[in-house]
Homo-oligomer: A and B are copies of this chain.
């Protein structure tokens, strides 16, 4: 374990979000912290990167502390790329993203800007963890999860995250009043049923708001959704090799004629 690790902090709710402020506070107790985060909310940005437009980046100070901070015009994945390639003298020992205001469990990982930053770091060979709290409100209470953020981060630094894997950590808002513990989980097979709210603007043109209902029919007790329902912290190891290896044999029987 590195004695005083160099830690890159980012998020997708924007650099002023209370979630990233809580994460910075915890990381300052563990290592030397550089913050490179979006200058505006980038939720549901998936793994978007900025290739057809320019990126801006400014040193700023939002809260006191030893950390250095940069506000960046891009997506969470852009922030990681920019930090590693332009702003840091050496590769960080760890990248943490979040704490997201809202869940990134199960299928939400696919749409998540928080997790895209962690995955981008993973692709670049940097151990990475995304943290999310199941409370989307700006005023969500991050105090109760701080000890778990610290515990998981320190444990990951000691045991080392497996190669080509990043951690997707979600915190419940415990119904029982307190978190019961930490569970290693698989991603539940859940999905969203979209509901578009169709409206007409003052000029008579129709437009839509995307809304939806979350459906989880996967009752497996090894899933993140189950753990969170039971007031456990869920930790899902996530990979970026998307190959469905189990399907290759079947596809090889196809007759392309």
Which residues of A approach B to under 8 Å, CB–CB? 41, 43-52, 54-57, 77-78, 81-82, 84-86, 107, 109-111, 116, 119, 123-124, 151-152, 155-156, 159, 162, 164-165, 168, 181-182, 184, 186-187, 189, 191, 194-196, 198-199, 205-210, 235-245, 247-248, 250-257
Are A208 and B57 touching (Cβ within 8 A)?
yes
Number of copies of this protein chain within its complex? 2
Q: How far does the alpha carbon of A54 sit from the alpha carbon of B199 in the complex, in Å? A: 10
Query: Which of B81, B123, B155, B199 meets A254, CB within 8 Å?
Result: B155
Are A184 and B248 touching (Cβ within 8 A)?
yes
Query: Which of B51, B78, B119, B152 meets A256, CB within 8 Å?
Result: B152
Interchain nearest-CB distance for A196 vs B (Å): 5
Are B48 and A196 touching (Cβ within 8 A)?
no
Q: How far does the alpha carbon of A256 sit from the alpha carbon of B169 in the complex, in Å? A: 14
Are B208 and A77 touching (Cβ within 8 A)?
no
List the B residue with the shortest CB-CB distance to A186: B243
Residues of B close to A57: CB separation below 8 A: 206, 208
Are B86 and A54 touching (Cβ within 8 A)?
no
Shortest 9 CB-CB contacts between residues of A and residues of B: A46-B47, A46-B46, A239-B244, A237-B247, A237-B244, A46-B48, A55-B208, A54-B207, A186-B243
- A52, A242, A251 interface centre (most CB from chain B within 10 Å): A242
Residues of B close to A119: CB separation below 8 A: 110
Residues of B close to A46: CB separation below 8 A: 45-49, 77, 116
Interchain nearest-CB distance for A143 vs B (Å): 19
Interchain nearest-CB distance for A135 vs B (Å): 17
Query: Which of B165, B182, B195, B199 meets A247, CB within 8 Å?
Result: B165
Residues of B close to A191: CB separation below 8 A: 123-124
Query: Which of B45, B182, B208, B255 meets A86, CB within 8 Å?
Result: B208
Q: How far does the alpha carbon of A78 sit from the alpha carbon of B45 in the complex, in Å? A: 12
Are B44 and A51 touching (Cβ within 8 A)?
yes
Interchain nearest-CB distance for A106 vs B (Å): 10
Residues of B close to A111: CB separation below 8 A: 47-49, 77
Interchain nearest-CB distance for A41 vs B (Å): 7
Residues of B close to A256: CB separation below 8 A: 151-152, 155, 181-182
Are B51 and A196 touching (Cβ within 8 A)?
no
Query: Which of B51, B55, B77 meets A43, CB within 8 Å?
Result: B51
List the B residue with the shortest CB-CB distance to A249: B184
